[in-house]
Amino acid sequence: MFQYRPERIIIDKAVSAEPLTEQICASFPEVSKEIVDNFAWHQDESNADPLRNPLTHGKKTLHLKYFRGASFKVCPGFSDKVICCNYFTLDLIENCPFECTYCILQAFLNKPVITVHANLKEILEQVRQRTTVQPNTLFRVGTGEHSDSLALDPVLGINAHVIRFFAKLPNVLLELKTKSKHVDHLLDLPHGGKSVISWSVNPEAVVVQEEHKTARLNERLKAARKASDAGYKVAFHLDPMIHYPEWEKGYQELVEQIFDSVPPERIAWISLGTLRYISSLKSVVDKRFPNSRAFLGEFVPGEDGKMRYLKIIRQRLFRNVQQRIGKLAPQIPTYLCMEKSSLWKNTMPHQPKSATEVESRLTSSLRQLILMET
């Protein structure tokens, strides 16, 4: 699996003395470092190498940034046009070293560098302040919105601090979402049952074709078993599901592989979602990944502006997987990501009318898991 190593480190002066900055810089003693007041990315088009894609090359710059504003916020997928799960996100890193062909970050981020929000103590304090005022609410908080939660962690070492912090919060559950195999450095941490490590998974054929530089499927599942054996709750996101020629067999086998690897009672939830994208992403992918097959087939615009498979295709994908999960482990909470209530009908075993209903079902199950371990 790909191992990240930057060519240079740019440091905001405001975080030059932060403990996390010192920790990260110590991991790369031979890499050049520059302290700046304000960092702006500039692509030198006059010397541009046509074989050196600026989005790929930009990731070789590591920017340690002082983040201003709200890092802790409601998931950006939340909308009154689709049913979500009332999830919260915590922005710690922007951009990802992996190269998934369908990744929305390619068309979303303003600069292609890897950015770490190095004022970690201030950011975590936002979580404490926001969750303390609602002591009876169980907050689900994920760090995998703008990057892979674990892809960089063996060299950055951020999550050890985050896991220890969340272990002390009575009503907050941390989710680390990844396509990596990097869990060994987390196994002995005092997580207190308050962290879920989740894996985005696809059939191996999709991993090889579309999820470049990531861990292979068997590596992800082995890592999930390690985390489970270490007392972590684990979860899985079959998202984005791809409609490819062997999809029915591929996704049924994927569900079976999950349950062969991890005891169902250790799985906190499984979410399902099909490929969806903003229209501007397609031209980026065509240029960067001409061999990608992810965008073949017919897509239509949804009410939220994202392109999606036809409704009947999405229903078939979801029904195929949900029926297999229901047969093998019906007790595991499952939900659809960013779909209208009409998609849940005749697809899922329950049909929530709102995000609050989805959240209530998930948190009820999670509270039981937490009680079992305390």
Among the residue ranges 189-193, 216-220, 348-352, the one predicted with the least confidence is 348-352
Is 322:345 a contact under the CB 8 Å cutoff?
A: no
Mean pLDDT over each residue of the chain, to the nearest integer:
91
Q: Which two tokens stand for residue 67?
A: 């983040």
Here the CATH number for the domain that contains residue 242 is 3.80.30.30
**Section 95-116 average pLDDT:** 92
β-partners of residue 236 are 199, 270
Q: Is residue 111 part of a domain?
A: no
Q: How far is CA 132 from CA 120, 139, 169, 332, in A?
A: 19, 10, 9, 29
Strands (E) located in 132-181: 139-142, 172-178
102, part of any domain: no
> Taking 90 as the threshold, does the pLDDT of residue 372 lie above it?
no
Give residue-wise pLDDT tens across range 227-285: 999 999 999 999 999 999 999 999 999 999 999 999 999 999 999 999 999 999 999 99
The band of 47, judged by pLDDT with boundaries at 50, 70 and 90, is very low
Q: What is the pLDDT of residue 73?
A: 86
pLDDT number for residue 207: 98
Nearest to 134 by CA among 374, 368, 363: 363
Domain that holds residue 335: 69-95+120-372
pLDDT of residue 369: 65
Residue 50 included in any domain: no
Separation of alpha carbons 242 and 247, rounded Å: 7
Residue 105 lies in a domain: no
- Does residue 25 form part of some domain? no
Mean pLDDT of 300-306: 89
Output the pLDDT for position 158: 97
In a domain, 329, yes or no: yes
Q: Does any domain span residue 125?
A: yes
In sequence order, the β-bridge partners of residue 139 are 172
Range of 103-112, 283-292, 347-356 with top mean pLDDT: 283-292
Answer yes or no: is pLDDT of 8 > 50: yes
Structurally, the chain folds into a number of domains equal to 1
pLDDT at position 50, please? 42
Confidence of residue 45 (pLDDT cuts 50, 70, 90): very low
Indicate the pLDDT class of residue 366, thresholds 50, 70 and 90: confident
Q: How high is the pLDDT of residue 44?
A: 52
